[in-house]
Amino acid sequence: MTAFDHIMAHQRQTEALGKVMERLGWDQETMMPQGAADQRGEEMAALEGVLHARRTDPRLGEWLALAQAPDVAGARALDLIARSYMRTVKVPADLAQKLAQVTSTAQGIWAGARAADDVAAFLPTLTQVIALRREEAACLAAGGDLYDALIDDYEPDTKAADLAAMFNRMRPRLVALRAAVLDAPAPEPLTGHFPQAGQLALSRKMAEVFGYDFTRGRIDLAVHPFSSGGGDDSRITTRVAENDPFNCLYSTIHELGHSCYELAIDPDYNFTPLGHGVSMGVHESQSRIYENQIGRGAAFCEFLFGQMRAEFGEMNLKTARDFTRAVNRVHAGFIRTESDEVQYNLHIMMRFDLERALISGDLAPRDLEAAWNDRFSRDFGVAVPRPSLGMLQDVHWSAGLFGYFPTYTLGNVYAGCLNAAMRRDLPNLDDHLARGDTAPATGWLRGKLQRHGGLRAASGTIEHTCGFVPTEAPLLDYLEAKFTDLYAL
């Protein structure tokens, strides 16, 4: 065997073990009995120890020095393996295991604290998670910015300063659009009772409409919707509130974007570094374009309106136009995942600033609740009434995912670029979407982007797909055009 062959064989087993660990995480969030949390933490720590040892195996360094790639895909795989190796060897094995254990048990503690609106019950665990992540970041940063080192886990080669500059360019137009929309007459919201069974049936219908392969996936319920897995096993979750079917339906469509991306990757890349979405920003672009530009667009809403009436009967909204306006209704709210397109990125920008301050040490965990509430009041003009609507609403910090939040807005930016390019190439797309035919859109995304997995770097993936360098302008133009029409501005 050549050095390249040795590397790829070693990587195949590492990838397989990583998929096992991911499945343990899925089980923890969906089916694991509550009392098993501590045991699961030990299991996750043990498996992380095995994975860390494989990723830092000294033979990898020797093989990498000798390996010659047979083609472009092989060269990219070697680059990603080398990157992972150089990053992982900087983190002590005991720290990696401790992080896996603590973040596993932390998620159950967070869920209990959120349900009880009890910040004090979560604060010691949060403090420990932040301390461990700062320790890890210090190992990785080599004297550089700690937060940049953490972002690299999710969006390689992206710097906080560049993200901050982009957010600063976006904020004035978003704030101005929000002000104009909120000054306009609000559309009538959807009201009524929508039983869980009907919502889940319609969620399954949406999965079929978007081409989800149920032979390689499934839909389950979770407190915080997510997707998990890849290759031939990619699962999604959703949640149900019987007075708000949009929460369930659009959580489902969002997660379908993630899962369909994973399932569409060239099967030749499975069990290699190319067999994943290239970055969380690109991953989020898929969930966002499925959910927003396609799923919340007027054409698809016309189709969904008919599906809703077929499942639940007549509603208070009598026309597809009224339904579309309700789907896209802009309103004051506290929950990021329930936010409208106009305000969503403002939620992300707030979290980005707060977690940068936590990682830098400028903000102590004990002061996070007050800082959150003050910032939310300034940014959104309303006071946070309880922690579950404030700093306890998101699972990310309990899971140690510092540096993850900004990829949501980056994903929205990428989705704006992809939508512009897709509609350039598919001028009659809305005619198909109005009939519930998403195949032209999903086929375009699958062929242009999804099947390539990690073959190219993140921004290069978007540029190759769209034919232009990604910027925030297409997203902002799209939002202004859409909501100017919906609110008759």
Q: Is 255 a catalytic residue?
A: yes
CA distances to 15, 48, 99, 216, 306 from 454, in Å: 14, 23, 26, 20, 38
Which token pair is 288?
Answer: 């966002």
Contact indicator for 385, 393 with CB cutoff of 8 Å = no
User: Under DSSP, is residue 221 helix (H, G, I), strand (E, B) or coil?
Assistant: strand
Which token pair is 453?
Answer: 């997995």
Which token pair is 480?
Answer: 């202004």
Whole-angstrom Cα distance, residue 285 to residue 281?
6
The total of other beta-carbon atoms located within 10 Å of residue 386's CB is: 10
Contact indicator for 19, 230 with CB cutoff of 8 Å = yes
Can you name the residues that pair with 228 across neighbouring β-strands? 235
Between β-strands 219-221 and 227-230, what pairing exists: parallel, antiparallel or unpaired? unpaired
Alpha helices in 31-159 (DSSP H): 37-55, 58-66, 72-88, 93-116, 119-141, 146-151
- DSSP of 158-197: --HHHHHHHHHHHHHHHHHHHHHHHHSPPPPPP-S---HH
Check 48, 255, 291, 355 and give the catalytic one.
Answer: 255
The total of other beta-carbon atoms located within 10 Å of residue 353's CB is: 18
Catalytically annotated residues: 255
